[in-house]
Structure formats: C-alpha cells, structure tokens
Amino acid sequence: MKLNPLNTALVAAGVLAMGTAGAFTLPWQHKTQSTPAAVAAEAADSNAVSVPLAAVEAPNYREIFRQNAPAVVNITVDGLHKVTAEEGGGLPPGMENDPFFQFFKGIPGFRMPRGGMQPQPQPFHGLGSGFIIDHDGMILTNAHVVREAKEVTVKLQDRREFKARVLGSDPVTDVAVLKIDAKDLPVVHIGDSQQIQVGDPVMAIGAPFGFTESATQGIVSAKGRSLPGDSVVPFIQTDAAVNPGNSGGPLFNAQGQVIGINAQIFSRTGGYEGLSFSIPIDVVMKVKDQIVATGKAEHGRLGVTVQDLNQGLAESFGLGNPNGALVSQVMPGSAAAAAGLKAGDVITAVNGQPLERSGALSSVIGMSAPGTQVDLTVWRNHESMPIQARLGGIRDSGDQLASNGGAGQGEQLGLALRPLTPQERQQARLGSGLVVEGVAGAAESAGIQPGDVITAINGKPVSSIEQIQDVLKRKPKSVALLVNRDGNQIFVPVPLG
C-alpha cells in the first residue's frame, strides 16, 4: 500500500465533523416506539444505559452544499517539471535500467554528465481544488497543487476565470495561499478541527477528475494520524470518497464549517480506496497567517529522529507502558544536541502535555516557531528528568550520530558481530559500533540483517561484544538494539524470553 500525495494522484480526503447539532439517526430508532410498560421496565433495570441518539438529526448535506459550493474553486496549473535523473529524463534509451548507472546514481556527489545527458524540464498541466476564505479573493489549497507552476487559473462556480498569484506555499504542511483580483466573493466559514471526534459525519466538495462541484460524504475514521514524510501534520483520517482533482478542497463539519484541507490518500492504484487524509484547519490557518505576513512559514526543529514504542521496547527501557517518543538519533549541532538529548531517551511529555505517540511530538515541535523554548520530560536510565530545549529552524542541517572497537558472538541474540574498522567508521561517520556478519534466531526474526551496524543496546552505546554480553547476563526478556542501516537509525526490539 502506497501513500499518494495529491499532486501525483490529485486526491482529496473529505472530513465533516459533527457538533452537538449533528448525528446519525439509526434506522431502528424510527421503528421502535416505547410504551409506558417498556419505559417502566427499563427504569427498573439498574444496568440500563441511556443513549440519546434519536434526539439528534443527520446533517443536512443538501444545505451544506448549497451554502458552500459557490466558494469552492477549480484550480488548473501549467508549468515545467524538472525531471530528475532517477525519472529517466534526458537519458539515452535503456540507460535508466543500466546496472552501471543504477550502481553509481546512489553515491553522494554523483551527478549526471553535462550536455545531452541532462534531463530536460517537461511541461505539465495539473488540476486541483481550493476554497475562498475572504470576499477579496484569498484562496487556500495544497502546496503540491501549485508546485512548479508558471501559471495558475482559478475558475469559480459562476464560470468566471481569474489568473491567481501564489502568495506563498509551505511544503512542510502542504498549504498554499493564492490571491485573485475580485471583490464581493462568496466565502466558506472556518470551523474548529479540535472539536471533531471519531464517528462524526464529514463532507468534501471539490473537482475530482475535473468534474467541478462534486460532493462526497463519510465519517471521521481517526484523528492525529502521522503519515510517512508528513510528521508535522496530525492528519484527520476519513472514509469520504476523494479522487484526482479533489486535492486542496475543503472538508466540512455538520454545521457547514471547514475543518480541513483534502490532502492525501493511501492507495494501490492512485485512486480512492477508503482511506483519505486532511490537514486540520487550525494548522492551515497558522500557516496562512505566516504566509500573508511574511510570504513564508517557519517551523521549529528539535533535531531528533523518533519512533513509537511497543511493549517490548517499553520493557527494555523500564517503562510500564509504551507511551512516548523514543529518540533513535540526535543530529549534531541541533537543538536536541545542545539540550543534552541522547539516543535511547524517551520523551514522555512536551510542555506538560503527555505524549502517547511519536507523531504528537513532531506536530508540537513543527508548529512552534524557531527560537521557542520547550520543556521536555525525558525517561532515561529508569528515571524521569526535565530537559529544556530552544528550537532551531527546520532548515538547519545536521549529520548522522556518532558513538566509539572487540569481536565475538552474541549467541543469545543470534548475531555474529565484529567491530567497525577505522575505514568503516570514517565512511559511515560513526564513532563506534558492531557490524552484523551473521544473523539467526531472535535477531533475524526481529528484522536484523547482515551489514547492519549495532550502535547501542538499551540506549547505551556499544563498542565491544563484551558490552552486549554484560546486558545478556542479566537474562532480560527483551533488548532494544539501535541499528544503523544505510545511514538511517532505528531501535529494534528483540524478544529473548
């Protein structure tokens, strides 16, 4: 299953949150009438639970569409796409599959030869959706809808067309702000995405496949979703049908208020398969305000790679439950490094707010301004401690981590290990670690592979096999190995019991 951002398969997720005035009336609630005897019998039952679902009505989708469709726009984009070498642009026929090219293209610093081998920009034509937020022509859409655009055209419901200016776009949150020269335009009403709950009804309006003024409905399937490559945004997941062209369109709640922008889907085909995602409107409006004020949006950066805990990892670090964000990598020179964070730390709260998943940390940090001080609660060496960090900017650079030579076997783990050679340490930019030369048993089942480098066990750096054996002598039920693979690091839990 693949995550499709909505400029490749321009797809939208629609969400319509229900407030106190909206809910579904279940079919059997119309068929069953309570008699006085039945009411008395229910009152006598001490276990009876009152569920007042019949007291509320389903959303009036017809009225929501009537009021808001005039403020939903169709966006067409023309531009030049810079074709990368990996996409095969500008390569002689067949060279994109040549083993020599495939081997060397991944080497840092490798560039395509100059001349006829250079990929040439390719013209493209794209479709998307958007919505008007003020009467003077300010429009919100997805950043990927207008990426690489040379010309953006906005078409209104009354068939008028306007050339639009891109006031700014933010690829981190996938939000863009457009402006057209028009007055007295219809607008949508902005809602509160914090108030939606799983099960609330939702509605999306957009232009799937260029078919303007199309509406779909569903429910909120989940909140606060973290998606690969989009860690800053706590997405709203819905089952509202969206397809290419819906991208950038509005998501309405039961009161007809916008609570998100259609953004991404999970799909094997590029089309809708039941999983749609939207950017919460509170995130969108924060980014919009920055773009209008400065032409760009800035995001805080802590400088760590984090992952979710599971029960095995939690037990390895002495935690009672798998809540929090496990730090698997700290970037040198980052805010995290300056604050003293280490790989193996578990961040359990930010500014006093407990963290259940690592994505919540990314959202809080990413939506904070550079220079903001954050108060972290960190679990280290089986105890909790406070750490303060002053965030850097999201464009700050940082390398991989470092750690410090032994040989031998980790039989209980099923690993054959050796220390890194000086050349390997320099090439991998690691201070120390143990190379996996063979793997079987528990480690193989956990996903460890030959060529991986073990840089820490249970959060403590390793430079010799004896350090691994010391941990195993305590007969733990599981251990957490920090594994470096192709420059990326992640903690891998290995059950031993």
pLDDT tier for residue 90 given thresholds of 50, 70 and 90: very low
Pairing of strands 300-301, 276-280: unpaired
Q: Determine which of 18-22, 180-184, 420-424, 488-492 has the lowest per-residue pLDDT on average.
A: 18-22
pLDDT given for residue 119 in this prediction: 58
pLDDT given for residue 355 in this prediction: 92
Residues forming the active site: 144, 174, 247
111 against 349, higher pLDDT: 349
Pull the structure tokens for residue 162: 């306007």
Q: Determine which of 39-53, 248-262, 320-334, 347-361 has the lowest per-residue pLDDT on average.
A: 39-53
- 385-423 pLDDT per residue, tens: 999 999 988 653 332 222 222 334 444 677 888 888 777
- Residue 7 pLDDT exceeds 50: no
pLDDT given for residue 97 in this prediction: 52
Q: Judge whether 15 and 257 are in contact, CB under 8 Å.
A: no
- Residue 228 pLDDT exceeds 80: no
- Where b means 16+ CB within 10 Å and e means fewer, 435-466 reads bbeebebbbbebebeeebbbbbbbbebbbbbe
Q: Is the dihedral of CA 203, 208, 211, 212 positive or negative?
A: positive
Q: Judge whether 281 and 261 are in contact, CB under 8 Å.
A: yes
96 against 70, higher pLDDT: 70
Average pLDDT of the residues of the chain:
79
pLDDT tier for residue 333 given thresholds of 50, 70 and 90: confident
From the list 477, 476, 479, the residue with the least C-alpha distance to 494 is: 479
98 against 297, higher pLDDT: 297
- 430-476 pLDDT per residue, tens: 888 898 877 777 888 888 888 889 999 998 899 888 888 888 888 88
The set of residues, in sequence order, having a beta carbon less than 8 Å from that of 66 and lying 6+ positions away, is none
Give percent of the chain with pLDDT exceeding 70. 76
pLDDT given for residue 476 in this prediction: 87
Phi-psi region of 300 (alpha: psi -120 to 50; beta: other; left: phi over 0): beta
Structural domains in the chain?
1-32+54-82+121-297 (2.40.10.120), 300-393 (2.30.42.10), 408-495 (2.30.42.60)
